[in-house]
Structure 1
Amino acid sequence: MSVEVDHAIALVPGIPARRALLGLAGAPAAGKSTLARSLVDGVNARLGPDTAAYVPMDGFHLSNIQLDRLGLRDRKGAPDTFDIDGYVSLLRRLRAWHGRPVYAPNFDRALDEPVAAAIVVPAATQLVVTEGNYLADSGPGWGEVRDLLDELWFVEAPAGLRERRLLERHVQGGRTEAEARAFIAASERPNAARVEATRAACGRVVRPA
């Protein structure tokens, strides 16, 4: 992990009024959020509090009300179940430093819903680590993400490990084991295959321990 933290620190501009963005792409349950938090903690431990901040893409999940309206509830987590325009707008705000905090949504797994303004990026923050499945995707809207990132890494984990994590995640979220397995087969696996096809578009591959 120290090597990855070194690479993240190298992105910190070190100049006031500038901010860098590091993106982490990867299949569902590959360990993206865990790595993002570890990177932020590592950078802040070495360069000082609030030097780095974590902003996940998952805050831009469409609400369950909107998914039901669109008939997409059973595909939650697919590219078209996110507010990609909202996410891109946030990345632009983060890059356009203006001396004020930036508020961002987060995703509450207990509620299974996004929560507005749950995250604050302090004005002094110089590196934002953001992560999500489709940061390297080239579909409508998603291609704009890469242009806003200083670096994009791919987080990789064995499929068996990822699916065990997903099963545990969905059961803890309220699904029965049978329901969780059905959702993984119908939604998570196709999403993972789409994400894994974007691996070559990333500049670095990371395999968390």
Structure 2
Amino acid sequence: MYVDDAVALVPSMPGRRVLLGVAGAPAAGKSTLARSLVDGVNARLGADTAVHVPMDGFHLSNVQLDRLGLRDRKGAPETFDVDGYVHLLRRLRATQGRTVYAPDFDRALDEPVAAGIAVPADARLVVTEGNYLADDGPGWHEVRDLLDELWFLETERAVREERLLVRHVTGGRTEDEARAFIEASERPNALRVEATRSAATRVLRLSDGTR
């Protein structure tokens, strides 16, 4: 789904690169959509034509969150290295002729992993996804102008929060702890993200179980 639209964005000329952003509230299904787009583009146009670079690689480490007193707000805008993310997007737009390395996020560890993703020099489409790609807060307001297109993935709140509950319980929280975290952090974050919908190029609504 939507692979045709992603293929249409890929530049025909070597040496050019397009950045496609996918925004949406927590657990809307952004990562699954991004991976399916990348896999679909590469199946049609060749390996490494497209690469998935999630914003989640710029989560602050748990050590830094503890130092800042933000561990219980993990996932909020202030718990990311937005300047690092913006710098990476600029490098991806400007760098040609060599590989660019980007951080990834390990959900099992609940930590970012440095240089976990390689963007080959000849990659022509980068699909990046995250909550705050359309946000107008400090630092975040620079992201939108670095993207060629921004899609917003809209998913019903009940569906998202059920996914979040499973995610947090699987990650080690009790069900009560997970529900409390969703109410205190994930839900306010989602409301902030949903308020940025109008800044997107297009709004997608999936009903196929995308996670």
Task: State the TM-score bracket (shorter-chain normalisation).
Answer: over 0.9
Q: Is the 8 A contact 1:17 1:97 kept in 2?
A: no
Residue 9 of structure 1 and its aligned partner are, at CA, apart by: 1.1
Partner of 1:98: 96
For 1:154, the aligned partner's letter is F
Deviations 1:100-137 (A, max 9, x none): 11111011111110000011111110000000000000
Residue 13 of structure 1 and its aligned partner are, at CA, apart by: 1.0
Partner of 1:8: 6
Partners of 1:17 and 1:41 lie apart in 2 by: 21
Q: TM-score, normalised by structure 1?
A: 0.98
Q: Say which SS state the counterpart of residue 23 (structure 2) adopts.
A: strand
Partner of 2:157: 159
The answer to whether structure 1 residue 199 and structure 2 residue 159 are counterparts is: no
Stretches of 4+ moved more than 2 A in 1?
A: none
For these two proteins, the number of residue pairs brought into alignment is 207
Matches within 5 A, 1:56-205: 56-205=54-203
Q: Which consecutive unaligned segments of at least 5 residues does structure 1 have?
A: none
Q: Say which SS state the counterpart of residue 53 (structure 2) adopts.
A: strand
Partners of 1:113 and 1:200 lie apart in 2 by: 31
Partners of 1:49 and 1:98 lie apart in 2 by: 18
Q: Say which SS state the counterpart of residue 137 (structure 2) adopts.
A: coil
Deviations 1:38-90 (A, max 9, x none): 00011111111110000000000000111111111100000000000000000
Partner of 1:19: 17
Residue 15 of structure 1 and its aligned partner are, at CA, apart by: 1.1
Partners of 2:171 and 2:90 lie apart in 1 by: 32
Partners of 1:207 and 1:195 lie apart in 2 by: 15
Q: Is the 8 A contact 1:19 1:97 kept in 2?
A: no
Identity %: 79
Residue 98 of structure 1 and its aligned partner are, at CA, apart by: 2.0
For 1:84, the aligned partner's letter is V
For 1:204, the aligned partner's letter is R
Partners of 1:112 and 1:130 lie apart in 2 by: 19
